[in-house]
Amino acid sequence: MKLNPRISLVIGIVLLAVGAFTSFGNAPPKADPASAAACRERFVDQGQEMLDRCGEAAFATAMTATDANQAAASISASNNQEIGGNAIGMFLLGIGLALTLAGALAWMKQSRDRAGGQRE
């Protein structure tokens, strides 16, 4: 199957944009309001940086956990979600880069062939 170079270029650029957004635009999963509030209450005198981290699910769960097994399961699920999203983003970046480069090279070759054919 031969793809039009312009279509390949456009698809590649779209995949690059989506991959960049999913890889670099995502923040860690958010904590539920109850555990975030309990975490903030615990760190109220520790400074703004600690209070900001209470919004992350893994940190809030670790700081407010009463059952170690439940906390480990929650943190593991949170980390798996973050790693999975990052892996998908990197995959899309790779496919997008490959399609963009292939489309650009094919387009340049095609335009060079057309220009060479017109001179004769």
Higher pLDDT, 15 or 75: 15
Mean per-residue pLDDT, 72-84: 80
21-41 pLDDT, tens digit each: 888 876 667 777 888 888 888
Q: What's the pLDDT at 117? A: 64
Whether 97 shows a pLDDT value over 80: the answer reads yes
The domain segmentation of the chain, as residue ranges, is: 5-119
Buried b (16+ CB within 10 A) or exposed e, 16-50: bebbeebbeeeeebebeeebbeebbeebeeeeeeb
Mean per-residue pLDDT, 59-82: 80
Give the chain's mean pLDDT.
83
Q: What's the pLDDT at 50? A: 76
